[in-house]
Amino acid sequence: MAVYDYAKGLVIEAGNNIRKMMQEEIDIETKSNPNDLVTNVDKATEDFIYNNIIDNYPDAQVIGEEGHGKPMSELKPEGIVWVIDPIDGTLNFVHQQENFAISIGIYNDGKPYAGFVYDVMNDKLYHAKAGEGAFVNEHPLKPIADSELKKSLIGINPNWLTKPQIGVIFKKVVDDARTARAYGSAALEIVNVARGKLAAYMTPRLQPWDFAGGLIILNEVGGVGSDLLGKPLDLTQPHSVLVGNKAVHEEILNKHMLSERETLEALHARYKQ
């Protein structure tokens, strides 16, 4: 079985397991701060996905949010790399029991191979194989249209608007847009850009497992992604992220971000520590 078809089945099976585990009591722990949560379901889901990959593809390299596989700094460019977030949107999972996703990005010899974002509670699998288009379940996603920022919805976590420096920069973008929305899951935010429901999504810090799957899907419908200064995203470190349709991405970059290069470079250095 091709890796792509295998991965589709694996993601759906992992989602089925999550729905079953949600019928039982959920154990919640904190990680780096009281709002950075992890549950027994996150850990069990990553265990399931990781063990299945290694059983079937023992030479695969894996990066998992909950600690499976290699550290990002030890990745080798050759071969297949799986980048896994077992539950993207854990706060939503804990508080809402919806609006979370399994996210997997697969790269082959450093190039995008396939992306998967599974909206578990709505049973919608967004997926793409590089060069072959993007789909929700078995229905093709249409190429996304360009738009002007002043007529666009953009995605942003409102917490960033309260932070010094980055909050000032982001507020100017929000003021220029029609309005902003927050979904609480970076993977679903990027998918909503790919669906044309948002024109752009921006954040000053994401880990590779947050964007690896969604970015491949986005690229297949004509969207673009970079850091806030227009540089490419890679799998070896956290990044700021700006994704969007081509026109809005360029407008935000040229009008709001490049003029703040010195500030953003300093923030990049801080957020990567």
Measure CA 206 to chain center: 8
Q: Give residue 27's identity as a one-letter amino acid code.
A: D
Ranges of each domain in the chain:
3-140, 149-272
**What is the pLDDT at residue 30?**
76
pLDDT value of residue 273: 57
Q: Which residues are annotated as a binding site?
A: 65, 85, 87-88, 210
Q: Half-sphere exposure of 170 toward its Cβ, with a 13 Å CA cutoff?
A: 24
What residues contact 86, with CB distance under 8 A and at least 6 apart? 14, 41, 42, 43, 45, 46, 49, 64, 65, 66, 102
User: Across the chain, where does the E strand assignment appear?
Assistant: 28-30, 37-39, 61-64, 80-88, 101-108, 111-119, 124-129, 134-136, 139-140, 153-155, 179-181, 200-206, 224-226, 239-244
Domains 3-140 and 149-272 agree in fold: no
CATH code assigned to 149-272: 3.40.190.80
Pairing of strands 153-155, 179-181: parallel
What CATH architecture does domain 3-140 belong to? 2-Layer Sandwich (3.30)
Q: What is the pLDDT of residue 80?
A: 92
Residue ranges of the binding site for Mg(2+): 65, 85, 87-88, 210
Tens place of pLDDT for every residue, the chain, 273 residues? 599 999 999 999 999 999 999 998 888 877 767 666 778 898 999 999 999 999 999 999 998 887 777 677 777 878 899 999 999 999 998 999 999 999 999 999 989 999 999 999 999 999 999 999 999 999 999 999 999 999 999 999 999 999 999 999 999 999 999 999 999 999 999 999 999 999 999 999 999 999 999 999 999 999 999 999 999 998 888 999 999 999 999 999 999 999 999 999 998 888 775
